[in-house]
Structure 1
Amino acid sequence: MILTDFDYARPAGLDEAVALLTGTPGARVLAGGQSLLPDLRAGSDSARLLVDIRRLAGLRGTTRTADGRLLRVGALTTLADLASDPLVLAEAPELAAAARANGDPQVRNLGTAGGNLAAAGRPTDLPAAAIAAGAVVELAGPGGRSTLPAEEFAARGAPADAVVTALLVPAAGPAAAFEKSADRATRYPVCAAAVRITPDGPRIAVTGATPRPLRLRGVEDRLRGGPYDTEAVLAAFRAEPRELFVPGRGTSAEYLGHLAGVLTARALQRAERALA
């Protein structure tokens, strides 16, 4: 039972959805509902208006952009579809693995890529993979279409008057991976690491153990040129400031820093094997 009062609207198009969000302070976007609806039930969140975008055309599915360099993942693409999409598996495997790691089958069948990216205050898996991939988030707002780097989007959150429409992901082939240690009760990550090996060196992002999904540029610099063996990766993580890792229930900053290093080493080694 949801104990908060709100109005409900199902816009016929994206422009109408943006107008509803812009014209109603406290309006919220409803997509898969896997984060928002539990919070409304618990009373930990509220909404004056739910703007249901689930039937908007053109926001589902994954395609390659005309130049072939990017994958366009529609915001309403379910996590289950993202996890099994052959194009994503071939060109952005860290994204597919992160989608597959989310929740349980019901969550993956209903939860959406856009909702997972925009789930404020929840350590979801997709943002770290998007950051490691160098992806950008596409938004539709009152000023038209705009984009934000995934890292900046994770820091700022979704604007209240905008709709996430797509995730634009550089196509990279198999040189990417995702590893996660999950909380048994919630399936949220105690720590998760996403990596992508590029000609300029590794891109590494971590979530769960950090205040928000973060790209670890210091670790990247220390590992530039390799090797990616476990001891080298752990040494790179030991050089990071301990305050980067936020202790949680039954964990310490030292433990989380070590766990992040172990998961990153596994992901880098998996990505490296895929290149061989």
Structure 2
Amino acid sequence: MILADFDYVRPVGLDEALTLLAGRPGARVLAGGQSLLPGLRTGEDRASLLVDLRRLEELRGIERTPTGIRIGAMTTLAELAADPLVLAEAPELAAAARANGDPQVRNLGTAGGNLAATGRATDLPVAAIAAGVTAELAGPGGVSTVTAEELAASGVPAGTVVTALLVPAGGRAGAFEKTADRATRYPVCAAAVRITADGPRIAVTGATARALRLRGVEERIGGGPYTTENVLAAFRAEPRELFVPGRGTSAEYLGHLAGVLTARALTRAVQAPA
């Protein structure tokens, strides 16, 4: 299909971008465009105005902070996947970024855009939930924050821009595993974990209606051992309706697959060098 009619503007500052979004009903943020543009082409998405953020250098870059790592929302997935600081201290995020699509997708797609994507499972939100990421948002009311888990449930409010991902300090004990659809490379199921002093944080996507943290599984496996048998038993105790069948897969199969991927991720996290 041909793209529907819309206006396009490329602001040079965040304040200008927010003014444009507030002043036009139906205005949408354009970051990498890897989800939005195909949606506009198929008619799944609508926009009266695209506000392109690619000139906003203030939204790029990765830096250490007193509490962890700050990742600018316009940082590309390729940059996120290769950054030494992220690789060392948030490996689940680096692995999720690396799992996205192909090199062309990763060179255009952005951390903020992937985190904010709705309507189809993507890789970064599940890793962000496991890592305890907080998203920084800028909007008409100023700057606010929301957890990655809350963002996955509610989406980004209209007229608001994701400006950064705030990653708490957590060391190397994190990992990501994925089974991808062969045609699209979207996750059939993906699992991410981070092992903390209070026990593991576990999240899944693809097999569920949205990216979810599985607190019940966390409680059942506790401090370990993180054997495949123990992890699968914890997943079998989850309600079957949690897992949404699709693409020829049953809820039972997806629940089992989520458990297998989680067990692999936990093993990888435990074996990571200190």
Q: TM-score, normalised by structure 2?
A: 0.98
CA distance in 2, matches of 1:2, 1:109: 24
Runs of 4+ that moved beyond 6 A: none
CA distance in 2, matches of 1:139, 1:213: 19
Shift of 1:275: 5.0
CA distance in 1, matches of 2:106, 2:203: 22
Matching residue's letter, 1:134: G
Aligned twin of 2:101: 103
CA distance in 2, matches of 1:111, 1:180: 19
Aligned twin of 2:160: 162
Matching residue's letter, 2:96: A
Aligned twin of 1:52: 52
1:124 to 115, 122, 125: 122
Aligned twin of 1:146: 144
Paired residue total: 274
Q: Mind listing any 5+ residue stretches in structure 1 that lack a counterpart?
A: none
Higher mean C-alpha displacement, 99-108 vs 52-61:
52-61
Query: Is 1:19 paired with 2:15?
Result: no
SS of the aligned residue for 1:95 comes to: helix
SS of the aligned residue for 2:58 comes to: coil
Q: TM-score, normalised by structure 1?
A: 0.98
CA distance in 1, matches of 2:264, 2:273: 15
Aligned twin of 2:182: 184
Aligned twin of 2:247: 249
Higher mean C-alpha displacement, 8-17 vs 235-244:
8-17
Higher mean C-alpha displacement, 155-164 vs 39-48:
39-48
Aligned twin of 1:33: 33
CA distance in 2, matches of 1:186, 1:64: 34
SS of the aligned residue for 1:98 comes to: helix
RMSD of the alignment, in Å?
Answer: 0.9
Residues 138-165 of structure 1 deviation map (CA, whole Å, 9 limit, x = unaligned): 0000011100010000100011110110
Aligned twin of 1:175: 173
Task: Describe the shift of the 1:203–1:275 C-alpha distance in structure 2 as closer, same or farther (beyond 3 A).
Answer: farther
Matching residue's letter, 1:18: L
Matching residue's letter, 2:93: L
CA distance in 2, matches of 1:2, 1:57: 31
Q: Mind listing any 5+ residue stretches in structure 2 that lack a counterpart?
A: none
CA distance in 1, matches of 2:146, 2:269: 26
Aligned twin of 2:92: 94
Matching residue's letter, 1:113: A
Overall identity of the aligned pairs, in %: 80
Residues 90-126 of structure 1 deviation map (CA, whole Å, 9 limit, x = unaligned): 0000000000000011100100001101111120000
Matching residue's letter, 2:14: L
Aligned twin of 2:211: 213
Aligned twin of 1:272: 270
CA distance in 1, matches of 2:44, 2:210: 20
Aligned twin of 1:204: 202
SS of the aligned residue for 1:237 comes to: helix
CA distance in 1, matches of 2:11, 2:165: 22
Residues 194-215 of structure 1 deviation map (CA, whole Å, 9 limit, x = unaligned): 0000010000000000000000
CA distance in 1, matches of 2:263, 2:198: 18
CA distance in 2, matches of 1:275, 1:81: 23
CA distance in 1, matches of 2:201, 2:68: 17
SS of the aligned residue for 1:58 comes to: helix
Aligned twin of 1:61: 61
Shift of 1:171: 2.2
SS of the aligned residue for 1:186 comes to: coil
Residues 34-72 of structure 1 deviation map (CA, whole Å, 9 limit, x = unaligned): 00111111122110000011101211111011x1x2100
